[in-house]
Chains A and B, each alone.
Chain A
Amino acid sequence: MSLDAEQVAKIAYLARLQIDDAAIPDYARNLSAILDFVEQMNAVDTSGIEPMAHPQDVPQRLRDDVVTEHDQREKFQRIAPATENGLYLVPKVIE
């Protein structure tokens, strides 16, 4: 499996990850090597094998739908890059 520069740029965009153009060939080379490596998986036939999500094969535990958290907005927003009136600020989305 070989990825070219254009594919790497597309994946980087999907991941919302800026990568310098100059670094893309290096990423393409390394990612291709990693994908080649994981393709060893294809040597084994896994048809009919149930995928394993949790080692104990337990179902997802659910809790009652009740309020368990108390308000800590001020504490949490103290570490935010930008807030105003208790809201998180981001660049303008709608003109």
Chain B
Amino acid sequence: MTALHRMTLAELSRGLAAGDFSSVELTRHFLDRIAAHDGLLNSFITVTDEAALAAAAAADRRRAAGEAGPLTGIPLAQKDIFNTDGVRTSCGSRMLDNYIAPFDARVVEGFNAAGAVMLGKTNMDEFAMGSSNETSYYGPVKNPWDTERVPGGSSGGSAAAVAARLAPAATGTDTGGSIRQPAALCGITGLKPTYGRVSRWGMIAFASSLDQAGPMAPSAEDCALLLQAMAGFDERDSTCMERPVEDYAAGLGEGIEGLKIGLPKEYFAAGLDAEVEARVREALAVYESLGAELVDITLPNSHLSAPAYYVVAPAECSSNLSRFDGVRFGHRCDDPKDLEDMYCRSRGEGFGDEVKRRILVGTYALSAGYYDAYYLKAQQIRRLIRDDFRRAFEQVDVIMGPTTPTPAFRLGEKADDPISMYLSDIYTIAVNLAGLPGMSVPAGLVNGLPVGLHIVGDYWSEARLLNVAHRLQLETDWHKRIPEAYA
């Protein structure tokens, strides 16, 4: 039998069903791997070993009683942005270092109901603000393909943990690329669903009109199983859409003859690394060989995505993060001399530099006299960007391009230059502004570093995206590659 960590989540699910191993054995295997490797990678903030083994034993009993589903007994890691009842939920921040969540997020409830086993909480950029995982209060995460390099962010701990096979799967959240960019840089599969598909209840808010949770795992088939437990209407999130959930695994393997793939000229322009482009073109050739048709398209307002994003996201962040005031939970400074001093110092001590920068930008953009010039303008540009995609989807079924312009960069390389850091999400941001679903799928290596193929679909087309990604993974094995030190 293949070593447990070299199997995809879907393979593990079949192995559990066949009785090849128990959830307790599986969980112990991954806990041992975390103990052996995570000192270097730093992909977890909290490991919940005792609770994991107890949940695994419960899952094995549930299976013995004949009540197991595809995720029963599967270990996975939760990004530390999801509230987990009784477990610290830090969001990568000193502000919440002492915060033991008193409830479960909807995403966590879904996995608990399915009988999945939580291994722990993964490291992340502070409050999900970052593209390199260097803004975490708990220190940077290392990319398992080259530990001198970043794993991407903000779901960098989740991506690194899955890439090194310290967990068969993990959750992420994506506000401007935070699932897809680290998935690309770590060589795994990640899906950001349509805005409103997954409830944001209990997911610590960064930019509420953009945030969306999704799965991260080796394969598209894995992501289909995971999304099934995450998606669905929830009245506790007022932006969650009341709409039936498809069976995401049912359509996997369907033919894609005649599929029209749009290639936006703006995503293959200056700034794109030539070798990254070559890997993406190779993946496109695979699709052509399967009967898909490549169509040149244009998204003329693409260049406005990052500027609009860096108004909308900071503005909403400054509003959302005003709840951290040192009163009801989280960090409170010592010996405040009055209420205002308590607010200012608790927040000044609790937040790191990048979070402070974004709160300040957002506060400025929303301050009296500036609202129209910044937030309103950015929302108008959102509509232009959304309309570009609408026109494109009248012509094509999916849009493809690179997930990121380059492979993983070095730790510290962009840490002092916010704008250059922001541009590493240049291809992913527009998808959040439009609220569309998008995936990153492993498409090969450049000098030993993974490259991601970005696949964007029309609203509610998660099942189609997953099948399109799955078809590539039936023809290639990039999603099964594991960095040598972790094989």
- A residues with a Cβ closer than 8 A to B are 3, 8, 11-19, 27, 30-31, 33-35, 37-42, 44, 46, 49-56, 58, 60-61, 63, 72, 75-76, 78-82, 88, 90-93
Contact = CB atoms under 8 A, between A and B. Distances in A.
A40 B348 contact: no
Interface stretch (B56-64, B67-75, B161-169, B372-380): B372-380
Nearest to A3: B364
Given A30-B418, A31-B364, A51 B310 contact: no
A75 B434 CA distance: 39
Nearest to B376: A51
B308 to A, nearest CB: 6
A95 to B, nearest CB: 10
Contact of B329 (A50, A53, A79, A92): A79
Interface residues of B, number: 69
A-B pairs, 4 with minimum CB distance: A55-B435, A18-B348, A51-B379, A81-B332
B341 interface: yes
Interface of B: 98-100, 102, 194-196, 209, 235, 238-239, 241, 301, 303-304, 306-308, 310-311, 318, 322, 325-330, 332, 336-345, 347-349, 351, 356-357, 359-361, 363-364, 367, 374, 376-384, 386, 418-419, 422, 434-436, 459
A27 B352 CA distance: 12
Contact of B348 (A19, A76, A90): A19
A25 B435 CA distance: 36
Contact of B342 (A72, A78, A91): A91
- Most A-side CB within 10 Å, residue of B194, B340, B377: B377
B441 to A, nearest CB: 23
B108 to A, nearest CB: 17
Contacts of A40: 303-304, 307
A11 B102 CA distance: 33
A60 B238 contact: yes
26 contacts: A11-B364, A15-B347, A16-B344, A17-B351, A27-B356, A34-B419, A37-B419, A41-B308, A42-B377, A44-B304, A46-B377, A46-B380, A55-B435, A55-B459, A56-B196, A56-B459, A58-B241, A61-B238, A76-B102, A79-B99, A79-B329, A80-B328, A82-B332, A91-B336, A91-B337, A91-B342
A91 B344 CA distance: 13
Contacts of B435: 54-56
A17 B459 contact: no
B250 to A, nearest CB: 25
Contacts of A13: 344
A15 B366 CA distance: 11
Given A15-B322, A44-B384, A81-B330, 17 more contacts: A12-B360, A16-B325, A16-B343, A17-B351, A27-B357, A31-B361, A33-B418, A33-B419, A34-B310, A38-B308, A40-B303, A41-B307, A41-B377, A46-B377, A53-B209, A55-B196, A79-B99
